Structure 1
């Protein structure tokens, strides 16, 4: 039997270099078991989606093709987002749009996905998490339902370098990763 490494793409909603979302993503990425490879997927360079890019010859932005090829290579995704005005950031929505177009070429289709939202406030970006999940339904992704991941008071959970302060937080993060790994394995398609 050939053992295949599963590739997990992490998309981070915030473009800020020192974003809590990025730090949370890196903390989660370290918790995946052997047999899983995790990578951050860059989304900040993607021009805003315009259907003309796909419909009119010669208009496709240079960044779209390598991004779409990269997305094809992942077995599952983890989306880590802050909350902007009770929703998730435009950069993340744009990446989802670019990967779902042109119509009929949805690269997200059938892929397992975990949504992790975080905020310095107590609600853990609840609004962003739920708005994002609505879009994932339309994209026909397979979301992790439980446990839900709302990381509130994130600034109290992480050290300056992004490492997790307390073992109980790491244990909570690990329960989410373990549940996601089970989802990935249960939705695996035979070769």
Structure 2
């Protein structure tokens, strides 16, 4: 069985190092795991209960929900914006938390990682992301973390997938996430 992992990136910038990190995760996913990089977070309107109406959910939000429902697990890439979670990633979590009690995260394993310019690699944003996705119903893997500091320098001329240490760390994260899917299914 192939474990389907949906990757959501909290940066919309084309050259984002977090997007590159997600692209690297797609490339290094171990056998039996498939990482899908979700495209389209920019098109999803801000969550508003008035537009979250059965049969009339905005198409972009419905596309996200369908991709999330089909996933076995999630990889969330959280850059740090002003010390916290980027709005686009929080908005995706909000859409996936609904309908209340039966959101798409539904107890599925979630790993949060990322890279940032600062010396801590975006840990504040990643911690806030873990908090939000846990409240939204995801099974946050507190022991599966990867925060890469100094992204502007480290990835100035090297794509994360070409950085041996990062590629090895990403492979380990995806493998551990895959393992948690098996544990969740067996429970």
TM-based fold match above 0.5: yes
> Residues 1-191 of structure 1 correspond to what in structure 2 (within 5 A)?
4-42=1-39, 43-55=41-53, 60-158=57-155, 160=157, 162-189=159-186
TM-score (ref. length: structure 2): 0.89
Which sections of structure 1, spanning at least 5 residues, go unmatched? none
Q: Is the 8 A contact 2:160 2:167 kept in 1?
A: no
Higher relative contact order (CA 8 A, sep 6+): 2
For residues 54 and 189 of structure 1, do their structure 2 counterparts lie closer, same or farther at Cα, with a shift above 3 Å needed? Answer: farther
Alpha-carbon distance, 1:189 to partner? 4.9
1:55-77 Cα offsets, whole Å, 9 max, x none, are 5x775323222221121111111
Alpha-carbon distance, 1:116 to partner? 0.4
Q: Larger radius of gyration, structure 1 or 2?
A: 1
CA RMSD, Structure 1 to Structure 2 (Å): 2.1
- Partner SS for 2:169: helix
If each structure's helix is expressed as a fraction of its own residues, which one has the higher value? 2
User: Which whole-Å CA distance do the structure 2 matches of 1:148 and 1:70 have between them?
Assistant: 23
